[in-house]
Structure 1
Amino acid sequence: MFLLLLIVLSACLSAAGSVPACPCAEEQLCQPVQHERELEVFVFDVGGKAWKSYDWSKVTTVAAFGKYDAELMCYAHSKGARLVLKGDVPLPDMVDETNRTTWIKEKVNLAKSQFMDGINIDIEQAVDKSSPEYSALTALVKETTDMFHKEIPGSQVSFDVAWSPKCIDKRCYDYTAIADACDLLFVMSYDEQSQIWGDCIAMANSPFNQTLAAYDQYIEMKIDPKKLVMGVPWYGYDYVCLNFSQEGVCTIPKVPFRGAPCSDASGKQIPYSIMMKQINSSTSGRLWDEIQQAPYYNYKDKDGKIHQVWYDDPESISLKAAYVGEKGLRGIGMWNGNLLDYSNDPVAKQQSADMWNALVPNQQK
């Protein structure tokens, strides 16, 4: 009788879904991806089905920042690519060790139940070096990495950092310790005008020299280049010009951010797909700034106001991607994979292909 009860109980637990069923056509596709490729191409996906049009010959990791998609998981695994969770949490909640452990366990269990391969920790909160959050953040990264590696063999734990380690946006983190504690740092080499301390003018989202100098800063902190993934933007900023000089300088409204008098918050983020349509009707066409090594264009809106749009395209991205190879960085990636035009329009298809190819300029298709 007792044996019969055990059998019935086991069947009930299985039926209740205590062990999740693999949603893939092939059972092995639910196994975690464990092998590493020479170059990491890290893609943020914000939902929908745009991933079906990604260049999967390049993708190594997809960070799922949209709703979980089992079809995406199965497909990514079929291509040998990881799918990782988004890890976002109010940092004050992590000062308490018990809260940290609970949060980490929840994320590990979620990743397991969805057959995922790790987590991308995206905090981006202001932290003072003298605050309890300073050490708590490092502990969060280390403990997350330890538990994920233990529970999901071969899993990847990444952490998103600002374009420079110089307390950008008051994010004064222990970057060296965090880099040591996780598998890789995704360096967000964009929104580089989030704090404008000089003239309040429209500038490049990811200017070449400033971007590369910041990687030198990370490396000078004894962070292994093989821990660094360069993030590039697949979007730009559209600024309304308060004044437009004869030299083409666009003065922008003052919108303070974390201590700085001006910021890119006075502009509006525009996807690459939209800009490629808009540029055809612009007043200037594509222009190139030799100092910032970035494209831009000007246009007039229906009210007659002049706008200046700064963005990245295959030319500016290829220049930065070359540095990835030269310095031996872990890889490259973008925010975000959904921002291209994946329609069947021949021009759009070529533009999207060019953007993917710019990430790995030396790779033969």
Structure 2
Amino acid sequence: MRKKIFVFFLLAFLAFTTIPKTPNNTIVYGFWPDWPYLGSYQPDWNTLTHVSYYKWTLNSDGTLTNPENMSNYYIIRDQAHQHEVKITLCIKSNDPYVIDSVIANHQTDFINNISKSLQMYGADGVNLDLETPNDINIITKTSNVPLFENLMANLHATLKAENPSYHISLDTPWGIKYAATFKNANLKKYVDSVFLMSYDYCNRRTTAPNSPYNSPTRYDAIDSVSETSKYFKKNQIILGLPFYGYDYLTDSNQPGANITREQAIFIGTAVNNSQVHGKIWDSNSNTPWYYYRSGNTWHQVWYDDKESLRLKYQYAKSKNLGGVGFWALGYERNYSTIWEVFNETN
């Protein structure tokens, strides 16, 4: 009898002293690309709550094409579950015609294929990365707003009936700048979270920050959250942060220089290179940058680091957003101390 009482109190103690994975039980959501270079990479599993494996490609008839590296998916899924991290399937299309076709004529097929895939691949939910819908559907010649809402309502009803714990998330560009489709407050009833992609703010013509914050002159993360909050609950918003920047070929070493070419750069590579070329802090965007010369060509590199990401993370916490997320896992692999930022409680 004493042994049973001891076990009972031990279990009760453990239940009340379990440390949450993240402060305030917020979401920490990372995208895991199916690109093979990741090799033996491991993220900070103790910090992540959700991983979305990128990508299942959406076709115009509602079918899905599997990622190229499916064998890696199973490895990541099992590792995620071992660490009590949910894994979702990222469904991708950048083709407005494909999106128009699916929501006009193949909604049921699309939803059924998502449902089958979740069961087949042992996933915990779905992420929809459909960033470029038209305002007017080219097939029906009507607004895509009610069509997309109908898709999300039916998807939510179907998946939640099968498994109430399935996590449904929707990706939106910063400021919901691309489409009226996302500017619909009814959508918040059909998603668990919305991944706000707070990066790629630069116009690609003149050098500028990739992910500005609290800027007096630029549209930035705060503006994006404010706009998105008009349509979704704040505790649904996951503030998407970049684990990358851009190396711009320019005509000078001054901010705002003309860009002749660009190349993405991993956050860890940029941080390491800044120690050679000299980090410059841009107080207008609260992000770092540096410049260097290669032959006769100027380069400017605008990126994020621990300092700039910490500001945005603290902002997300102060506004009680749903959490933060990253594009993309693996980009930080030679800068693993970045995870310290997201383990801070203050």
Q: TM-score range by the shorter chain?
A: 0.7 to 0.9
Counterpart Cα distance in 2 of 1:150 and 1:176: 23
Counterpart Cα distance in 2 of 1:179 and 1:72: 29
Verify the 8 A CA contact 2:50 2:87 in the aligned structure 1: yes
Aligned residue number for residue 61 of structure 2: none
2:299 aligned residue (282, 289, 307): 307
Question: Deviations 1:71-111 (Å, cap 9, x if unpaired)?
Answer: 221221121111111112421122335x1111111111111
Verify the 8 A CA contact 1:94 1:136 in the aligned structure 2: no
Letter aligned with residue 289 of structure 2: Y
Letter aligned with residue 56 of structure 1: W
2:224 is the alignment partner of 1:214: yes
Question: Deviations 1:115-171 (Å, cap 9, x if unpaired)?
Answer: 101100000114226844332222222222221212233110100001113xx2456
Query: Quick check: 286-295 or 141-150, which moved more?
Result: 141-150
Aligned residue number for residue 41 of structure 1: 28
Q: Relative to structure 1, is the Cα distance of residues 129 and 357 closer, same or farther in structure 2, using a 3 angstrom cutoff?
A: farther
2:101 is the alignment partner of 1:114: no
2:176 is the alignment partner of 1:176: no
Give 1:181 deviation, angstroms. 1.6
Letter aligned with residue 185 of structure 2: T
Q: Relative to structure 1, is the Cα distance of residues 125 and 115 closer, same or farther in structure 2, using a 3 angstrom cutoff?
A: same
1:84 aligned residue (81, 88, 98): 88
The structure with the larger Rg is 1
Give 1:222 deviation, angstroms. 5.3
Letter aligned with residue 288 of structure 1: W
Aligned residue number for residue 156 of structure 1: 167
Aligned residue number for residue 137 of structure 1: 148
Counterpart Cα distance in 1 of 2:184 and 2:344: 29
Counterpart Cα distance in 1 of 2:228 and 2:154: 23
Counterpart Cα distance in 2 of 1:229 and 1:240: 32
| TM-score after normalising by structure 1 | 0.75
Give 1:320 deviation, angstroms. 0.6
Verify the 8 A CA contact 1:44 1:64 in the aligned structure 2: yes
* Unaligned stretches of 5+ residues in structure 2: 1-20, 56-68, 215-219
* Unaligned stretches of 5+ residues in structure 1: 1-34, 255-265, 342-347
Q: 2:25 is paired with a residue of what secondary structure?
A: coil
2:241 aligned residue (222, 232, 246): 232
Q: Relative to structure 1, is the Cα distance of residues 361 and 175 closer, same or farther in structure 2, using a 3 angstrom cutoff?
A: farther
Letter aligned with residue 111 of structure 1: L
Counterpart Cα distance in 1 of 2:268 and 2:124: 30
Considering fraction of residues, name the structure with more strand.
Answer: 2
Q: 1:216 is paired with a residue of what secondary structure?
A: helix
Give 1:186 deviation, angstroms. 0.3
Q: Relative to structure 1, is the Cα distance of residues 238 and 158 closer, same or farther in structure 2, using a 3 angstrom cutoff?
A: same
Q: 2:51 is paired with a residue of what secondary structure?
A: strand
Q: 2:195 is paired with a residue of what secondary structure?
A: strand
Counterpart Cα distance in 1 of 2:189 and 2:287: 33
Give the root-mean-square deviation of aligned CA atoms: 2.4
2:232 is the alignment partner of 1:274: no
Letter aligned with residue 281 of structure 2: W
Verify the 8 A CA contact 2:290 2:301 in the aligned structure 1: yes
Verify the 8 A CA contact 1:321 1:360 in the aligned structure 2: no
Verify the 8 A CA contact 2:184 2:231 in the aligned structure 1: no
Verify the 8 A CA contact 2:196 2:239 in the aligned structure 1: yes
Q: 1:164 is paired with a residue of what secondary structure?
A: helix
Counterpart Cα distance in 2 of 1:320 and 1:216: 14
Alignment of 1:224-263 (within 5 A): 224-244=233-253, 248-253=254-259
Verify the 8 A CA contact 1:184 1:229 in the aligned structure 2: yes
2:67 is the alignment partner of 1:72: no
Letter aligned with residue 173 of structure 2: A
Give 1:51 deviation, angstroms. 7.5
- Percent of aligned positions with the same letter in both sequences? 22
Give 1:338 deviation, angstroms. 1.2
Counterpart Cα distance in 2 of 1:188 and 1:238: 20
Alignment of 1:261-340 (within 5 A): 266-282=261-277, 285-301=278-294, 303-340=295-332
